[in-house]
Structure 1
Amino acid sequence: MKQSVLFLFVSIVIYACSSSKPYSKTNKQYKKQAAAYAAILKAYPLKDSAGLPYAVDFVGTTNFSMRKPNYVVIHHTAQNSCEQTLKTFTLPRTQVSSHYVICKDGTVHHMLNDLLRAHHAGVSKWGNTTDLNSSSIGIEIDNNGSEAFTDAQIGSLQTLLGRLKNAYQIPTGNFIGHADIAPGRKVDPNNHFPWQQLAGNGFGYWYDTTNVQVAPGFDPLQALRIVGYNIAKPQAAIQSYRLHFTPQDSSKTLNESDKKILASLMAKYQ
């Protein structure tokens, strides 16, 4: 009897420990990978496959600093729970990740040092910037892609965005969505996302068409380009613009109302 009770007690302790720290193994792997990158930095100058330095004479400058993120890219997870997303981001075979994950109850999981490169943007372009993974922070919000975001999520998101903006001096116009940087390939965050609310708090721009005068010959497609969209595939760019700025409209052409919106946005993003 005593042995049975002891076995039960030990089992409960083991379960409690494993359930309270379900990601202890991946946390350990994170530290191991981070240490490996730190060792590479320390070993500069790097050597090539023949064991030779890229340049013979290395003179270490005293004037340098860490690279810092210049964009924030917002996503929805397109999965069914926060737990599912955390698991996806901790499996090496998936090769996907983000810096932060925000659950429906507002819980924020920080998954990667802001100064390291996450795999969240993929093939991407915004203005003249390509490879957004190398210059951005990725934030994933738990959402299956077709539902509204919770008040708790948006509250936590705005608190986080405020901290990131202050920490890295991220420009107002550089808070964007995955669909913005990958037209035709991505549609997140979905059309329920409150971009106007965020813009009102300094995270991205919103339009004001009250006093906008559209110049004769105004080209709305070129305005999309100036705002930041990749217009190589015009209809894809229009779709991404609509998801962000006119989610109630699903048309694939730009009308007179869009011209006013884009004229207003162009003035802000320039």
Structure 2
Amino acid sequence: MIEAPSPNFGPRPDNARIDILVLHYTGMPSREAALERLCSSKSEVSAHYLIDEMGEVYRLVDEGRRAWHAGIAYWRGAVDINSRSIGVELVNPGHEYGYSAFPIAQYAALQNLALNILSRYPIPARNVVGHSDIAPGRKTDPGEFFDWQAMAGIGVGLWPMQSNHLELDIGRLKTLLGEIGYDVNNLAAAFRAFQRHFRPTRVNGRMDSETARLILGLHEQVGGNSPLSV
């Protein structure tokens, strides 16, 4: 692991419970550009770790500190996501600079890092999320090329089976999506975020039978509504 200290952090609240893992892409043209921004006091952004395309892991902020990676966000009733999360940035140009697939070496390094983090903190699988899940109206990362299904297969996050039941009532699906954890005030954005994570082949923010069955399946898997304690 390479130490690349960022000045962009603060203290976690006393007795803070770390129970969310947030995955991002850097959305910058290069690793060097990403490191420069994440380690510049002028940017006021950071993460705990950065993983480049070759699988090198950089530690930017100590896990005991509150890194500034989530911004305005929401998950399962919690709004101060930075105080209760670990943030990992994956070097990728993102949608603005030529979004591309994540290399195998990067996935391998993320797998090792994420499993290590999950072994040390009470982070349930449903709280392994992308930036777009917690900020659906603002963010699209790590994006539809990120293989959430493969990560869930090795124990990082969840992957739902489609429910045998079909429910197309928008009000009911909105309730279920909110109980899973999403901010549903902008429902189309929440649908897009869900699709980007769990149905990445078609991300359009529109309800269809496949999306509905996946929402129902994930809701059944996580056991319904259980807001995070503040």
Q: TM-score by structure 2 length?
A: 0.86
Whether contact under 8 Å (2:168, 2:212) holds in the other structure is no
Gaps of 5+ in 2: 224-230
Would you say 1:89 and 2:38 are equivalent positions?
A: yes
Query: 2:129 matched to which residue of 1?
Result: 176
Whether contact under 8 Å (1:226, 1:269) holds in the other structure is no
- The residue type paired with residue 58 of structure 2 is H
More helix by share: 1
Would you say 1:214 and 2:214 are equivalent positions?
A: no
Shift of 1:92: 0.7
Instruction: Give the total of aligned pairs.
Output: 215
Looking at structure 2, the residues matched to 254 and 94 of structure 1 have their Cα atoms a distance apart, in angstroms, of: 37
Whether contact under 8 Å (1:66, 1:115) holds in the other structure is no
- SS of 2:139 mapped into structure 1: coil
Shift of 1:268: 1.6
Cα deviations by residue, 1:93-137 (Å, 9 ceiling, x for unpaired)? 110000000001000001111121011000000111112111100
Looking at structure 1, the residues matched to 195 and 89 of structure 2 have their Cα atoms a distance apart, in angstroms, of: 21
Would you say 1:120 and 2:72 are equivalent positions?
A: no
Would you say 1:131 and 2:80 are equivalent positions?
A: yes
Looking at structure 2, the residues matched to 67 and 220 of structure 1 have their Cα atoms a distance apart, in angstroms, of: 32
Q: Which has the higher contact order (CA 8 A, sep 6+)?
A: 2
- The residue type paired with residue 245 of structure 1 is F
Show the 5 A alignment for 1:1-270. Answer: 27=5, 67-145=16-94, 146-209=99-162, 212-214=164-166, 219-270=172-223
- Aligned-residue CA RMSD in angstroms? 2.4
Q: Which has the larger radius of gyration?
A: 1
Deviating beyond 4 angstroms after TM superposition, the runs of 4 or more aligned structure 1 residues are 215-218
- The residue type paired with residue 236 of structure 1 is A
Whether contact under 8 Å (1:181, 1:229) holds in the other structure is yes
Shift of 1:67: 3.1
- SS of 1:75 mapped into structure 2: strand
Shift of 1:87: 1.1
Q: TM-score by structure 1 length?
A: 0.74
Q: What percentage of residue pairs aligned between the two structures are identical?
A: 31
Gaps of 5+ in 1: 1-20, 42-64
Looking at structure 2, the residues matched to 167 and 252 of structure 1 have their Cα atoms a distance apart, in angstroms, of: 36
Whether contact under 8 Å (1:120, 1:133) holds in the other structure is yes
